[in-house]
Amino acid sequence: MVKFKKNAVGRNIPTEINGKPVVLFMGVGKYKPTGRKHAPRIASCADYPLDGNKLIPDLKTALIKAGLKDGMTISTHHHFRNGDLVANQIFDIAAELGIKDLVWYPSASFQCQERLTAYLEDGTLNRIEGSMNGPLGRFTTQGKMKGTAVLRSHGGRYQAVQDGEVQIDIAVIAAPTADPFGNANGVTGSSACGLLGFALADSQYADKVIVVTDNLIPFPCIPWQIQGNYVDYVVEMDKIGIPERIISGTTQITKSPDRLYLAELTAKFCDEAGIIRDGFSFQAGAGGTSLSIGNYFGDIMRERGIKARFARAGSNQYLVKMFEEGLVEYILDGQTFDLEGIRSMRENPNHVDTSPFTSYNYHGKGNFAGMVDVVILGATEVDVNFNGNVVTHSDGYLLHGIGGWQNCLFSKTVVMPIPLFRDRIPVIRDEVTTITGPGELIDVIVTERGIAINPRRTDLLEAVKDSDLPIKTIHELKEEAERICGKPQPIEFEDRVVAAIKWVDGTVIDVVWQVKE
């Protein structure tokens, strides 16, 4: 029988998940790793073609050469978001070969991979360890996956691979451009997606690495965002992604008056708190509200004649415009969200591709996240202790990945513009359904009916005390939400853990329970 123990945020966590012992979340910065990084096998050039040509006729042959067998961990990446054409093929081949019990380790999964539920049902796949957006998450919450899902942040995914918690047997890296040696990038080609940073850990640490491309060019493929020296095989195929689905559908500025107000209020808060000053840095997401906030930042900078030293991105047309206008000196980009982002990265050396290693890996000698002055993040729920949830909805269903959200919590100031309620369900609650980030790292909640500042941030409370901003306590906001919507009903769960939520250091901060349907 699996035992449960309470972790530092009071959640009941099984002591074992997927047959491996669990380290409980101990609090921010409390767990200190003592081991050494995963040590990949030493290769020899003698075992690789001297002329550098690693081309293999097709993906099936490459997977067989890579030694595909039962129980292996296979990784893919979400650079093409909902336009990915490669991941499904891998598991079609595995099923055809009668392989069982695979672990799929995507950097994220999307709706386009929904049909992999068939392989979760027939035993080809044991489980998914990776962010799940939409249908696969719902499937998981219904208790239909054999193994337990494990969700990690972008930085946590790098950490897990680096630390050897997850040993990838075969990484399949879909690349918009590659050469026969395996050098690859995402800035050119018809499937251009910007960068390939999510595959960096896989290239460095996986036992076998397969690069799949629909734009094979002669050596050298410049830039080499993925270095061929880590690659075993290269496969050319007709089409690896659907360009129109590679671009995120969410990157339009909101037209909703409510959300515009939220955006304006957030920007105003940052301004009053003294965050927007010459040489500052920021990260705003690619959702409609966040994009508007970025634009408001731009207005303030223009008015004052100041500029930002850098913006962390999620790049998009609005940020690129500010960048090309000179309001932002550098874009440090982890993921391009539209064609303008891709173009800018291709053309401008100050629009730099980053990776989960540089930006987010908590088990490095520092990372970029802590250097960002202000980050704007969303949440499905926040509780009165400022704990945040981004993975489940208030009905208990796991419908979103963690992305870089946990990692960004380490920025100097974390601001969350969220509506007080959604579909008449309060967003601010006594307890969040799933703790994805601990309250000690969440500083400011901005709602359309007031702003709550984490009492730990006495500096921020002090900075805005004479402003005309609608500052309230988090309890006041919660009560206001409940006055309007009523107190939310508790969810009924089955007695089964379906997913673990890892913290950035590899400890388990919460679990997701099967929902009673």
Binding region for a copy of itself (CB under 8 A) = 29-52, 54, 162-163, 181-182, 209, 218-220, 222-224, 227-232, 279, 309-310, 330, 332, 349-350, 352, 357-358, 361-368, 370-371, 410, 412, 505
Query: What does the buried/exposed string (b/e) look like for 213-249 if buried means 16 or more CB atoms within 10 Å of the residue's CB?
Result: bbbbeebebebbbbebebbbbbbbeeebbbbebbbbe
> What whole-number distance in Å separates Cα of residue 133 and Cα of residue 110?
5
In terms of CB distance, is 128 or 273 closer to a copy of itself? 273
Amino acid in the structure at residue 387: N
Closer to a copy of itself by CB, 375 or 427: give it. Answer: 375
- The least CB distance from residue 51 to a copy of itself, in Å, is 6
Of 18, 12, 15, the C-alpha closest to 3 is 15
Q: Give least dist CB 504 to a copy of itself, A.
A: 8
Query: What radius of gyration, in Å, describes the C-alpha atoms of the chain?
Result: 23
Q: How far is the CB of 123 from a copy of itself (least distance, A)?
A: 32
| Residue 451 and residue 470 in contact, taking contact as beta carbons nearer than 8 Å | yes
The encoded tokens of residue 301 equal: 């900078």
Sequence length of the chain is 517
**From the CB of 466, what's the least distance to a copy of itself, in Å?**
27
Give the span between the Cα atoms of 473 and 452, in whole angstroms: 5
With respect to a copy of itself, which residue has the nearer C-beta, 364 or 378? 364
Q: Is 223 left (phi over 0), alpha (psi -120 to 50) or beta?
A: beta
Please say which residue, 73 or 392, places its beta carbon nearer to a copy of itself.
73
Question: Nearest approach, Cβ of 59 to a copy of itself (angstroms)?
Answer: 18
Which residues on adjacent β-strands are paired with residue 374? Answer: 282, 413
Shortest distance (Å) from residue 346 CB to a copy of itself = 9
Nearer to a copy of itself, 71 or 220 (CB): 220
C-beta closer to a copy of itself: residue 30 or 144: 30
Judged by CB, which is closer to a copy of itself: 180, or 488?
180
Find the shortest distance in angstroms from Cβ 363 to a copy of itself: 5
Query: Considering beta carbons, is residue 105 or 410 the nearer one to a copy of itself?
Result: 410
Q: Which is nearer to a copy of itself, 277 or 475 (CB)?
A: 277
249/370 with CB nearer a copy of itself: 370
Instruction: Indicate the burial class of 352 (C-beta count within 10 angstroms; 0-12, 13-18, 19 or more).
Output: middle
Task: For the CB of residue 349, give the shortest distance to a copy of itself in the complex, in Å.
Answer: 7
Compute the least distance from the CB of residue 116 to a copy of itself, in Å: 29
> Long-range contacts: 141-146, Cβ < 8 Å, 24+?
141/392, 141/396, 141/397, 141/398, 141/498, 141/499, 141/512, 141/514, 141/515, 142/514, 142/515, 142/517, 143/494, 143/496, 143/498, 143/514, 144/117, 144/120, 145/120, 145/498, 146/120
How far, CA to CA in Å, does 389 sit from each of 12, 139, 377?
Answer: 16, 19, 11
CB nearer to a copy of itself: give 20 or 36. 36
What is the maximum alpha-carbon separation in the chain? 72
Closest approach of Cβ 310 to a copy of itself, in Å? 6
To a copy of itself, the closest distance from the beta carbon of 150 in angstroms equals: 19
Q: Residue 408 corresponds to which tokens in the numbers above?
A: 């960004």
Judge whether 497 and 148 are in contact, CB under 8 Å.
yes
Q: Give how far the C-alpha of residue 33 lies from the chain's centroid of Cα atoms, to the nearest Å.
A: 23
Q: CA 452, CA 433: separation in Å to the nearest integer? A: 20
Q: With beta carbons less than 8 A apart as the criterion, state whether 335 and 313 touch.
A: yes
Q: Which residue lies nearer to a copy of itself by CB, 187 or 453? A: 187
Q: Which is nearer to a copy of itself, 257 or 326 (CB)?
A: 326
Q: What is the DSSP annotation of 432-456?
A: -SS-SB-GGG--EEEETTEEEE-TT
Instruction: Name the minimum Å distance from CB 184 to a copy of itself.
Output: 13
E strand or H helix at 128, and its extent?
Answer: strand 125-128
Question: Shortest gap between Cβ of 61 and a copy of itself (angstroms)?
Answer: 18
* Tokens (6 digits) for 104: 């799929």
DSSP 8-class letter at 402: -
